[in-house]
Amino acid sequence: MSEGIITRTSLLLLIISSTMAQDCSDPCDCPSDPPPCPFGTSLVLDGCGCCKVCARQAGEPCTLLEPCDHHKELYCDYAMLSDTEHGICMGELNYPVNYKRKG
């Protein structure tokens, strides 16, 4: 792995862990029924590991409590926005992935 990738990954983990410490300090307070997700959208645990939420999809805004769909190998890129609590769901090649079929 290149040094740039390691540095960027380390920085991202630091941002996530500092955000997690702030947002996950309250006890879990989840609805009794999981939310109805659109077809093809995964139901995942929020970043605190408390509540089931509909995973955010490529190009959508994301936060610790509204995580990206890891089943589709998406991650929340916090570097795209100046606010470190909000990011954009990105694919592995650092651009929003479009999984919709053409035609």
Domain range for residue 3? 1-22+43-103
Number of domains making up the chain: 1
Q: What is the pLDDT of residue 68?
A: 96
97 or 20: which leads in pLDDT: 97
Flag whether 95 is in a domain. yes
Flag whether 79 is in a domain. yes
The token pair that represents 71 in the structure block? 């089943």
- Mean pLDDT rounded to a whole number for the chain: 78
Please tell me the distance from the alpha carbon of residue 100 to that of residue 87, in angstroms, as a whole number.
22
Sequence-separated (6 or more) residues with CB below 8 Å from residue 69:
41, 42, 44, 55, 56, 57, 89
pLDDT in tens, 31-74: 999 999 999 999 999 999 999 999 999 999 999 899 999 999 99
Flag whether 58 is in a domain. yes
Please tell me the distance from the alpha carbon of residue 33 to that of residue 73, in angstroms, as a whole number.
26
Please tell me the distance from the alpha carbon of residue 15 to that of residue 33, in angstroms, as a whole number.
31
Flag whether 90 is in a domain. yes
Rounded percentage of the chain residues whose pLDDT exceeds 70: 63
Rounded percentage of the chain residues whose pLDDT exceeds 90: 47
The answer, as to whether pTM is greater than 0.85, is no
Flag whether 89 is in a domain. yes
User: What's the pLDDT band for 20 if we cut at 50, 70, 90?
Assistant: very low
